[in-house]
């Protein structure tokens, strides 16, 4: 539409007799039956322009609205989607992968050991989608069930969650995998039902403590002799700390956010071409899911994360000192300790003991035992003494992070409790799901 | 090693620990446990069957000259280019070869003589540009390979090829393979360190992708740790403001006490790993600042590396840190210096680029030698390809002479760590265009490096997505004539 208008105004300059432009004259000369839609539009506009008083005002208004509409469209997030070409492009096996040496032509299909794609006039992608979720095809459901099992237990029934083929590992419990998969299909792909099945199982509800005989019988816990126990992924650790601190934003959806990150990381990776502009306010406290990811230099606090170069569906869990440094020193983690301490001062009770017990419970979901409380008390009192001697240090620690601090009582107390919370957020029991 | 073996190894260790669970708290205190008991993925001890044979080198310093230095200007002297300066390079030499899009459509390809004079140096008589006087002074310690060639004609794929054995991102970098295979020699510092710098004038623009030091499909514990040019050298190394060092120590002791209680309660050896992990972090907080504290260096040493040596993030600084890392047992030190991509500014930028890198590179070799470290430290200097013997642009536009990417023959040098010093291996044709003798592929280069470290490149594999992968993919042969 805009293009047509532009053409119209442009052509006005080349006027013909009777005030007609060349393209209008052309449109008029064309028999009605043969006129194109743009010619019809041109003539309609020309007529209205000449014989309709309000035309100019309305046309101006229309243009304004159009610009507004374009502005809105420009703001919209663009999403890439896959689509079929109108005409299928021939695809060839390439000799040793060389695109200049095509061999025989190939067509979309499934491997011979699997059922074929259903026939039909629909595009191949749609047929593939239907094939994937056909009730006669248990493979998809097995893969999904295994992925969820992996999420709850730290390891799938098929350990190579990314590979169910002949090169992958065999399932430890094939009947269980098949039973869960069949139930998933029969339930109409009800994921909540699947989760219920998993978490209500006696395997899942076992204690994670390692029984004495486990070393002999099931050292790797392959047969689920005990409950799952594994370190949480780094992005979940961040969410957990934000939640314990009471900082976590529960808002759903929206554009990505840019939380704290050491200065200069992006600039260094891009020779100063791209600089990290961190967000402020609520954006700092949104779930890790929403954190912006630049592929050449990902968010530095997410260790053991998939590298975005190849598809990875199995979590890596390693232990390096760098991870400990992240959990102890990263700005958000320190801020979480500070906010968590504040929360304990407000909600946790009046005495040190009440507050320490409350803090411990916030991150472990259990009350501390006597000896644990004693260690925490020792830490609190020692930290308090240190800060009393160096009040400036207390002030510095309480200044980490953007969130505001409620003035309650002695900042020394707040700072000392912040150290305790920093410790608690780094407990093995807190980093680990058990 | 197949995954089953990995698990078996791990299980044995674990079974042992679990059996003795009565005294686990006590065992957890020992450093032995800190080193031995790690999660399946994070073995710092390397593979049990490695090295395959006695290594000549224990560590590698790779000075990657990002952007591709011009071999015909710096090392590979070709009188023919002088004779035919300004004249079309013969079609018989070019032979329909492909070039980057920058000269791919250029029909005039006049020969361009070297920008500066090249002379012979040392007893070996190696030719080196006048732009590189310091390198020229150590040629008898170096082995020049003048017959390198690659399949890649663009920077990122070519660098990726050199570092990972494949031109596409996703495979482990060489340092990650070594960390996986050989483990660490110093628990308090990273095993694989990457450092980057760029030319001061920012004349070229390739960025450093972090997969250049990535672990690909290997466990992430093997990925290179990027030492930063500003702020903390290692991310999150510093305690938060207001947290004094002694205070952190006290906090960690209580953290440890609580974790030990939990270890007794749950009996999971992973908790012992956690205790060791936090203790290592604390030690790293001390060892990294010690590493970057240059106050112990003599004035003579500092001077050798040139005036930039105290500027954090400069090539000279990184070279000195590389030596300090090598001294402390770091396995693979990957320096990347960008700025060699002289398409249209060879005659203005090459000299500057040489000035910034020449003294530090040579100083590093000399410094290692003086400390007796050169014998078991392999130093590599090289780009991802060379530059065209012909001109990019017009011969009349003398101020913007340059050269395009050239993968068909180029020069690198290696030194120390089991490499024969004072030799030149391989040869390019009289234009420096094609290899005519003893060609070295990227996989050959990698196979040779692994060999020097005591590794049979065909036997260091990792199973991923249904097949075993190795650094050299399906190629590579050890270049035995350059071995000492």
Candidate from A268, A303, A397 with C-beta closest to B243:
A397
φ, ψ (nearest 5 deg) of residue B80: -60, -35
B8: in domain: no
Predicted pLDDT at B44: 62
Of B23 and A316, the one with more pLDDT: A316
Check A393 against B242: CB less than 8 A apart: yes
* Domain contains B428: yes
Q: What is the number of domains present in chain B?
A: 1
A213 and A241 co-located in one domain: no
The minimum CA-CA distance between B364 and chain A, rounded to whole Å, is 24
Are B377 and B185 a contacting pair, CB within 8 Å? no
Residue A97 included in any domain: no
Flag whether A314 is in a domain. yes
Shared domain check, A387 and A426: yes
Contacts of A273 in chain B (CB under 8 A): 205, 207
Chain B residue closest in CA terms to A375: B254
- Predicted confidence (pLDDT) at residue A278 exceeds the cutoff of 70: yes
Structural domain ending residue among the three candidates A43, A70, A97: A70
Burial track B447-464 (b if 16+ CB lie within 10 A, e otherwise): bbbbbbbbbbbeebbbbb
Strand-strand pairing, B59-66 and B332-338 = parallel
DSSP state of B212: G
Is beta strand A230-231 parallel, antiparallel or unpaired with respect to B423-425? unpaired
Residue contact A262–B235, C-beta within 8 A = yes
State the Cα–Cα distance between residues A298 and B371, nearest whole angstrom: 38
Q: Report how many domains make up chain A.
A: 3
pLDDT for residue A12: 46
Asked if residue B74 lies in contact with residue B128, where contact means CB atoms within 8 angstroms, the answer is yes
**Higher-confidence position of B344 and A239:** A239
Residues A59 and A151 in one domain: no
Nearest CA in chain B to A270: B207
Which long-range CB contacts under 8 A does B134-138 form with residues at least 24 apart?
Answer: B134/B358, B134/B359, B134/B361, B134/B362, B134/B363, B135/B358, B135/B361, B135/B362, B137/B362, B138/B362, B138/B365, B138/B366, B138/B415
**Token couple for A100:** 């200049």
Chain A residue closest to B22 (CA)?
Answer: A212
Using the beta-carbon criterion (under 8 Å), do A298 and B196 form an inter-chain contact? Answer: no
Does the beta-carbon distance from B231 to A419 stay under 8 Å?
A: no
For residue B245, which phi and psi values (nearest 5 degrees)? -60, -45
CB-CB contact of B44 with B362 (8 Å)? no
Spell out the residues 6+ positions from residue A353 whose beta carbon is closer than 8 angstroms to its own: A373, A377
Q: Yes or no: say if A398 and A418 are a contact pair by the CB < 8 Å rule.
A: yes
b/e sequence A213-243, b meaning 16+ C-beta within 10 Å: ebbeebbbbeebbbbbbbbbbbbbbbbbbbb
Cβ-based contacts of B201 with chain A (< 8 Å): none
* Distance separating alpha carbons of residues B393 and B142, to the nearest angstrom: 34
Residue B145 — φ and ψ, nearest 5°?
-110, 110
pLDDT in tens, chain B (484 residues): 344 443 333 333 443 333 333 333 333 333 333 333 333 333 467 888 889 999 999 999 999 999 999 999 999 999 999 999 999 999 889 887 877 777 767 778 999 999 999 999 999 999 999 999 999 999 999 999 999 999 999 999 999 999 999 999 889 999 999 999 999 888 888 899 999 998 877 766 678 888 899 888 888 788 898 898 888 899 999 999 999 999 999 999 999 999 999 999 988 888 988 998 899 899 999 999 999 999 999 999 999 999 999 999 899 999 999 999 999 999 999 999 999 999 988 988 999 999 999 999 999 999 999 999 999 999 999 999 999 999 998 888 888 899 999 999 999 999 999 999 999 999 999 999 999 999 999 999 999 999 999 999 999 999 887 789 999 999 999 999 999 9
Shared domain for A33 and A170, answered yes or no, is no
Question: Using one digit for the tens of pLDDT, what is the confidence trace for A13-46?
Answer: 445 666 678 888 888 888 888 899 999 998 988 8
Helical (H) or strand (E) element with A269: helix A265-269
Interface probe with B: pick from A237, A321, A374, A433, most Cβ of B within 10 Å: A321
How near does any CA of chain B get to the CA of A400, in Å?
Answer: 8
Model pTM score: 0.79
Pick from B243, B275, B289, B318 the residue to mutate for testing the A interface (most A CBs within 10 Å).
B243
> From B244, which residue of chain A is nearest by alpha-carbon distance?
A393
Chain A partners of B235 at a C-beta cutoff of 8 Å?
262, 300, 322, 325-326
Judged by CB atoms closer than 8 Å, whether chains meet at A219 and B7 is answered as no
The reply to whether residue B240 touches residue A219, judged by beta carbons under 8 angstroms, is: no
Residue A369 has what DSSP assignment?
P
Q: What count of CB pairs under 8 Å joins A to B?
A: 232
Query: Nearest C-alpha of chain A: how many angstroms from B118?
Result: 32
**Residue B420 and residue A144: Cα distance in Å, rounded?**
56
Cβ neighbours of residue B270 under 8 Å, at least 6 residues apart?
Answer: A229, A230, A231, A428, A432, B39
Cβ-Cβ contacts under 8 Å, A383 against chain B? 247, 250-251
Domain range for A46 is 2-70
Residues of chain B found within 8 Å of residue A301, distances taken between Cβ atoms: 236
| Closest B-chain CA to A167 | B466
Q: Pick from B211, B220, B262: which is nearest to A303 by CB?
A: B220
Q: Are B428 and B406 in contact (CB under 8 A)?
A: no
What is the distance between the alpha carbons of residues B236 and A325, in angstroms, rounded to a whole number?
A: 6
- Nearest-angstrom CA–CA distance, A339 and A333: 10
- Please tell me whether residues A348 and A241 are part of one structural domain: yes
Q: What is the pLDDT of residues A157-197, one digit of tens each?
A: 999 999 898 888 899 999 999 999 999 999 999 999 999 99
Work out the minimum CA distance from B126 to partner chain A, whole angstroms.
35
**Which structure tokens are listed for B259?**
């974790």
State the complex-level ipTM: 0.81
Q: How far is B85 from chain A (nearest CA, A)?
A: 35
Task: For residues A398 and A372, state if they share a domain.
Answer: yes
**In angstroms, what separates the C-alpha of B370 from chain A's closest C-alpha?**
33
Domain boundary among A70, A93, A116: A70
List CB contacts (< 8 A) between B232 and chain A: 262
**How far is the C-alpha of A228 from the C-alpha of A232, rounded, in Å?**
12
Domain range enclosing B109: 51-230+312-482
Q: Are B251 and A271 inside 8 Å of each other by CB?
A: no
Q: Are residues A268 and A173 in the same domain?
A: no
Residue A210 located in a structural domain: yes
Mean per-residue pLDDT over chain A, rounded:
90
Tell me which of A209, A266, A325 to substitute to probe the interface with B (most B C-beta atoms closer than 10 Å).
A325
Report the gap between the CA of B322 and the closest CA in chain A (Å).
19
| Partner residue facing A309 (CB), from B39, B42, B170 | B170
Residue B449 has, within 13 A of its CA and on its CB side, a CA count of 30
CA B17 vs CA A108, A231, B265, B376: distances in Å: 52, 19, 15, 36
Lowest mean pLDDT among A132-141, A278-287, A356-365: A132-141
Contacts of A210-215 with CB under 8 Å at 24 or more apart are A210/B18, A210/B21, A210/B266, A210/B267, A210/B268, A211/B267, A212/B18, A212/B21, A212/B267, A214/B18, A215/B14, A215/B15, A215/B16, A215/B17, A215/B18, A215/B19, A215/B21
Q: Do B467 and A167 touch (CB under 8 A)?
A: yes
Contact B24, B17 (CB under 8 A): yes
Domain identity same for A255 and A350: yes
Tell which of A35, A51, A70 closes a domain. A70
| Residue from the list B221, B228, B232 with its beta carbon closest to the beta carbon of A320 | B221
Do A334 and A291 share a structural domain? yes
Look at B266 and A431 and tell me if their CB atoms are within 8 Å: no
A307/A374 same-domain check: yes
Whole-angstrom distance between the N-terminal and C-terminal Cα of chain B? 30
Residue B455 lies in a domain: yes
A170 and A213 co-located in one domain: yes
CATH number of the CATH domain containing B177: 3.40.720
Asked whether residue A190 falls in the same domain as residue A245, the answer is no
Question: Is the distance from CB of A103 to CB of A93 less than 8 angstroms?
Answer: yes
Decide if A428 and B17 are in contact by the 8 Å CB cutoff. no
φ, ψ dihedrals at A345, nearest 5°: -65, -35
pLDDT for position A363: 97
């Amino acid at each position: 539409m805009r293009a047509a208008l532009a053409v119209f105004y442009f052509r006005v300059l080349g006027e013909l007799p009777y005030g007609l432009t060349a393209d209008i004259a052309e449109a008029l000369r064309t028999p009605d039956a043969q006129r194109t839609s743009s010619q019809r539009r041109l003539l309609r506009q020309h007529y209205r322009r000449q014989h309709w008083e309000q035309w100019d005002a309305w046309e101006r208004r229309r243009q304004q609205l159009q610009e507004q509409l374009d502005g809105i469209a420009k703001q919209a997030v663009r999403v890439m989607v896959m689509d079929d070409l109108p005409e299928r492009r021939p695809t060839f096996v390439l000799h040793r992968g060389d695109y200049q040496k095509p061999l025989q032509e190939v067509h979309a299909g499934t491997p011979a050991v699997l059922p074929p794609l259903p026939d039909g006039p629909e595009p191949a992608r749609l047929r593939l989608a239907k094939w994937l979720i056909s009730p006669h095809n248990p493979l998809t459901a097995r893969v999904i069930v295994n992925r969820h099992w992996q999420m709850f237990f730290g390891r799938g029934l098929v350990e190579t969650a990314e590979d169910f083929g002949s090169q992958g590992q065999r399932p430890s419990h094939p009947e269980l995998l098949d039973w869960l998969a069949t139930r998933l299909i029969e339930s109409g792909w009800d994921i909540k039902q699947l989760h219920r099945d998993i978490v209500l199982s006696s395997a899942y509800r076992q204690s994670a403590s390692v029984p004495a005989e486990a070393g002999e019988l099931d050292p790797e816990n392959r047969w689920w002799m005990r409950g799952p126990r594994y370190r949480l992924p780094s992005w979940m650790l961040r969410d957990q700390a934000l939640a314990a601190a009471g900082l976590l934003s529960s808002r759903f959806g929206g554009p990505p956010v840019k939380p704290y990150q050491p200065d200069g990381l992006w600039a260094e990776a891009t020779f100063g071409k791209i600089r990290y502009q961190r967000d402020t306010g609520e954006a700092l406290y949104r779930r890790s899911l929403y954190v912006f990811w630049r592929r050449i230099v990902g968010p530095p606090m997410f260790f053991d994360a998939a590298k975005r170069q190849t598809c990875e569906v199995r979590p890596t869990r390693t232990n390096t000192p760098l991870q400990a440094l992240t959990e102890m020193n990263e700005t958000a983690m320190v801020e979480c300790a500070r906010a968590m301490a504040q929360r304990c001062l407000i909600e946790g009770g009046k005495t040190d003991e009440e507050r320490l017990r409350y803090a411990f419970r916030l991150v472990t979901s259990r009350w501390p035992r006597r000896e644990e409380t004693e260690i925490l008390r020792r830490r609190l009192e020692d930290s308090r003494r240190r800060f009393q001697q160096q009040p400036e240090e207390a002030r510095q620690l309480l200044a980490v992070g953007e969130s505001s601090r409620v003035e309650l009582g002695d900042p020394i107390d707040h700072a000392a409790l912040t150290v305790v919370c920093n410790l608690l957020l780094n407990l093995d029991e807190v980093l680990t799901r058990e | 090693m197949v995954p089953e073996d990995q698990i078996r190894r791990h299980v044995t260790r674990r079974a042992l620990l679990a059996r003795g669970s009565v005294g686990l708290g006590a065992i957890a205190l020992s450093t032995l446990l800190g080193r031995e008991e790690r999660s399946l993925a994070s073995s710092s001890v390397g593979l049990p069957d490695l090295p395959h044979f006695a290594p000549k080198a224990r560590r590698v310093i790779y000075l990657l000259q990002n952007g591709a230095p011009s071999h015909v200007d710096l090392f590979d002297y070709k009188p023919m280019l002088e004779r035919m300066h300004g004249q079309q390079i013969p079609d018989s030499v070019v032979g329909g070869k492909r070039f980057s899009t920058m000269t791919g459509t250029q029909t005039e390809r006049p020969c361009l003589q070297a920008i500066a004079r090249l002379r012979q140096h040392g007893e070996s008589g190696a030719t080196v540009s006048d732009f590189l006087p310091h390198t020229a002074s150590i040629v008898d310690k170096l082995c020049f390979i003048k017959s390198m060639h690659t399949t890649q004609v663009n920077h990122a794929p070519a660098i990726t090829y050199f570092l990972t054995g494949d031109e596409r991102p996703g495979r482990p970098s060489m340092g990650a393979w070594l960390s996986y295979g050989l483990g660490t020699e110093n628990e308090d510092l990273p095993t694989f360190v990457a450092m980057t710098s760029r030319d001061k004038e920012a004349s070229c623009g390739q960025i450093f992708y972090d997969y250049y030091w990535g672990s690909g499909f290997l466990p992430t514990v093997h990925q290179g740790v990027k030492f930063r040019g500003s702020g903390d050298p290692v991310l999150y190394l510093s305690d938060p403001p207001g947290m004094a060092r002694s205070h952190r120590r006290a906090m960690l002791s209580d953290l440890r006490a609580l974790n030990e209680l939990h270890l007794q309660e749950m009996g999971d050896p992973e908790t012992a790993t956690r205790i060791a992990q936090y203790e290592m972090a604390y030690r790293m907080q001390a060892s990294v600042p010690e590493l970057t504290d240059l106050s112990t260096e003599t004035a003579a040493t500092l001077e050798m590396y040139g005036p930039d040596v105290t500027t954090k993030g400069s090539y000279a600084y990184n070279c000195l840190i590389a030596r300090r890392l090598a001294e402390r047992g770091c396995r693979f030190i990957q320096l990347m210096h960008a700025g060699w991509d002289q398409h249209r500014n060879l005659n203005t930028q090459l000299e500057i680029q040489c000035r910034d890198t020449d003294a530090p590179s040579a100083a590093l070799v000399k410094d290692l030698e003086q400390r007796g470290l050169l014998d078991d430290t392999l130093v590599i200097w090289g780009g991802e390809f060379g530059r065209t013997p012909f001109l990019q642009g017009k011969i009349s536009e003398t101020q913007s002479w340059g050269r395009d990417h050239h993968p068909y023959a180029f020069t690198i040098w290696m030194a120390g760590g089991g490499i024969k010093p004072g030799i030149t291996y391989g040869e390019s044709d009289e234009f420096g265009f094609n290899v005519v003798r003893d060609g070295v592929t990227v996989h050959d280069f990698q196979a040779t490096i692994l060999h020097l470290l005591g590794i049979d490149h065909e036997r260091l594999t990792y199973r991923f997505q249904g097949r075993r992968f190795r650094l050299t993919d399906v190629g590579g042969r050890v270049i035995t004539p350059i071995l000492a």
